[in-house]
Amino acid sequence: MINGRAAWFVLFLALAVGTSGCGGGGGISGTFAVTGMVADAEGQGVAGITLTAGSVTTTTGPDGRYTFSGLRGSAVIVPEPEEEALFYPQQQTASQGGGELENFVRVETQAVDEPQQVPEHGILAYPGMMLDAPDEAAATVTISAVDEPPHTSGMTTAGSVYAFVWAEPPTSSVQLRFPAPGDDQGNLGIFYLPQGAEEWVYVDSDVRDGYLHGWADAFSYYGVFEAPQAGAPEADPASGEVVIGSEIHLEAEDNAIIHFTTDGQKPTQDSPVYDPNTPLIMGEDDWTIKALAVLANHRSSPVSVFDYRAVPPESDDPEDVEHDPERSYAAGGYHFKLLYVPGGGVPDSSSMWTPHARHIYLAETLVTYELWDIVFRWAEDNGYTFVNSGRQGGAHTRDAWGNVVPEDPVGTAQHPVTTISWRDAIVWCNALSEMVGLPPVYHNKDDEILRSSDLTDEDLRDLRRHQTDGFQLPPSTAWESAARYRDEDDERADTIDFGERKWTPEDYASGAMASVDDEEASAEVAWFGTGFMDFDATTQPVAQLLPNELGLYDMSGLVWEWTSTFVQDSVWYGRRDYVARGGSWQFGVTSTQVGFRTYSLASTATLPDLGLRVSQAIH
């Protein structure tokens, strides 16, 4: 039994050994030598252990050390198996150049059918299996060998099978290691049989260090079997351009369960389950779906990857449909309007394909604190709840300990609302829709109107968007289409002709007459700071500077604007980050570039330079 992780995982510094006949451990040109040690659980050398490297054998000395010399090419070093112990790793590969190998650790096997305390940071070894518990998973377990495991139809026993009985269930996952016959996993896998079940479930397994590794958090029977692999899921359509609002169907052979992700993460058996009766609906953003099929008594399928590009319906073409240039609304006496934004392919130097922006209506200004507060109070009186109530503008001050804290309020109610999360923003959009008599966009998995921003990451993954005229956050590509608009008669030399439209260059602030290298030109259309975390800057009232060519104010600078676009390959597993566009008063002029697309935040983020601008989809 190992009581210290360091005791079995100590690495020695590599020692250079000669590889030619001019000295060193090789002695003969083209050969090399390696040295190492076999240690026990406490890190002490174990004498008399036989190791092989191909046809060459050696034995550890009194200090547990060994040497192989005269090796060529590469060699697999393997301790001779013992009935009363396992070695970790079970094998190591030595290659040209030689040197010092990692310790082999000899772990004495425990008796079956006897309770054992799994040590923190430690391993229990049994004939044909190791069990490794992380810090918080220590528990007491009795393990028994299973000679004839039940319900193994279609599978062949290919290693040890054990029954687990826990006196104290583990508080987190436990790692299992079964000796592997080689480097190739082939058809082998670790499976477990849940209590009372009649079908074995595959555990994600891989071969490393001569062992088949897998993590377990539910216990009855565990073992190694040779089993067929489930067929990979298929999708209809399989990939390519998909019209927004269209259905995407997933299917797998033999009615296998399909687990999928849409955030770029590799799917696992903990990922959402696809319901064949509820197809996925193509949203307004490009999408990557990854899917995994799980079938009883089978290894999990390979992961299928389906890439989709969102395109608007043909009817959403300005040549086919005449759109009003603006839409006007009033909420509690506050009047605001949205302007029509044509869509099309967006010139994007960072993308392998052309992102497509759909035609939308976009608010003339950022949401002011005045409008936010009017709707917020109405919403609270009508069954809505919010985690954050919003602030009147944003600035920075310092507390008595020198920590940076938001200052509230700043200026007037005509400053943009700030310190609201993405979750607050979409629920507020629903409230605004209902207040002016429009059907809300955002619904939960039960198809109920979303009226609370107290949401989980799973709630966001299950979020449903109805195709209505209600208010919503704009997709990042549609926001960029609005920010980069130039009139079809624009003949300036810097104007980009792309598709059926003309575009502002990516390194300009929206509406600016020159790139962000010209700060004076940028300052005519955008509020920005002198650099990151400018403590002298604050928000300003909306619509004080020049609008862009569509008539939209503050598309660059002032505050970052939440969009509906999430980052598919967020580094945080299980967390969906959302893109914010436009730059802010707190950042330098570089942030105001209309082509700045890489700023993303957690859906719970609340900042004094982060607000929103509403949009409406065109159906």
- Tens digit of pLDDT for each residue in 449-499? 999 999 988 888 788 889 899 999 999 989 999 999 998 888 888 999 887
Q: Could you read off the pLDDT of 106-148 as tens digits, one per residue? A: 999 988 988 887 766 678 889 999 888 766 566 788 889 999 9
Check residue 167 and give its pLDDT.
78
Q: Is the pLDDT of residue 541 over 70?
A: yes
Cis peptide before 406 (omega within 30 of 0): no
Check residue 531 and give its pLDDT.
61
Check residue 105 and give its pLDDT.
92
Check residue 462 and give its pLDDT.
83
> Across 23-37, 306-320, 346-360, which has the greatest mean pLDDT?
346-360
User: pTM for this one?
Assistant: 0.58
CA distance 613 to 619: 20
Residue 448: count other Cβ atoms within 10 Å of its Cβ. Answer: 9
Q: Is the pLDDT of residue 520 over 90?
A: yes
CA distance 245 to 286: 12
> Across 68-72, 317-321, 503-507, which has the greatest mean pLDDT?
503-507
Q: Nearest-CA neighbor of 66 among 102, 42, 30, 90? A: 102
Query: Residue 344 CA to chain centroid, in angstroms?
Result: 29
Per the prediction, the chain carries an average pLDDT of: 84
3-state class (DSSP) for residue 53: strand
458 or 18, which is more confident: 458
Question: Is the separation of the CB atoms in 201 and 146 below 8 Å?
Answer: no
Check residue 409 and give its pLDDT.
60
Q: Nearest-CA neighbor of 468 among 279, 619, 275, 607? A: 619
Check residue 218 and give its pLDDT.
65
Q: Is the pLDDT of residue 291 over 70?
A: yes
3-state class (DSSP) for residue 173: coil
Average pLDDT of the segment spanning 564-576: 62
Beta strand pairing call for 50-53 and 74-79 = antiparallel
Amino acid at 556: S
Distances (CA, A) of 202 to 187, 299, 373: 12, 5, 52
Question: Is the separation of the CB atoms in 368 and 542 below 8 Å?
Answer: yes
How would residue 27 be classed by pLDDT, with cut points 50, 70 and 90?
very low
Question: Is the separation of the CB atoms in 215 and 168 below 8 Å?
Answer: no
3-state class (DSSP) for residue 42: coil
Check residue 170 and give its pLDDT.
72
Place of tokens 């076999």: 38
Check residue 74 and give its pLDDT.
84
> Across 90-94, 251-255, 434-438, which has the greatest mean pLDDT?
434-438
Question: Is the separation of the CB atoms in 585 and 538 below 8 Å?
Answer: yes
> 256: exposed, middle or buried (C-beta count within 10 Å: 0-12, 13-18, 19+)?
buried
